[in-house]
Amino acid sequence: MEGIPLTPSKVLKGLELRIDGFEECFEILKIKDNGITLTSSRELSVLNGSPISGQISSPTLNLQFRFQGSLERQVRRPDEKGFLLGIQFHRTDRIPDLWIALELAS
């Protein structure tokens, strides 16, 4: 996961990501067409390839986006302050809605 920023950009900082079954809110570090990279303070008890679903939301933008995917990988952060998680989306047909909302927010 080289080249991943360890802090969210100004636009991504306003987003909240929740994974179904977990109480904590995760910080989004990078969004791509086919997946997302986020940071967690602790290691999740989820195996690589396991299905994951959740929600990306923004209280300030009145934005909610449901996603389904699978855990691609989970590695310790280079600064040793938690873990980086890569989630690959199963469907990307609604990603443009998210991109448009983020563009309007910036």
Q: State the Cα–Cα distance between residues 73 and 87, nearest whole angstrom.
A: 7
14-18, 57-61, 69-73, 79-83: the lowest-pLDDT one = 57-61
Q: Are the C-beta atoms of 5 and 29 separated by less than 8 Å?
A: yes
Higher pLDDT, 100 or 38: 38
Query: Residue 89: which H helix or E strand, with range?
Result: strand 83-89
Lookup: tokens for 33: 């067409």
Predicted TM-score (pTM) above 0.75 = yes
Q: DSSP 3-state assignment of 55?
A: strand
Is residue 95 scored above 70 in pLDDT? Answer: no
Average pLDDT along the chain: 83
Topology adopted by domain 10-105: Thrombin, subunit H (2.40.10)
pLDDT score, position 13? 80
Q: Are the C-beta atoms of 79 and 98 separated by less than 8 Å?
A: no
For the chain, domain boundaries = 10-105
Higher pLDDT, 42 or 15: 42
Distance of CA 40 to the CA centre of its chain: 10
Residues across the chain: 106
Is residue 72 scored above 90 in pLDDT? Answer: yes
Q: State the Cα–Cα distance between residues 69 and 61, nearest whole angstrom.
A: 24
Is residue 52 scored above 80 in pLDDT? Answer: yes
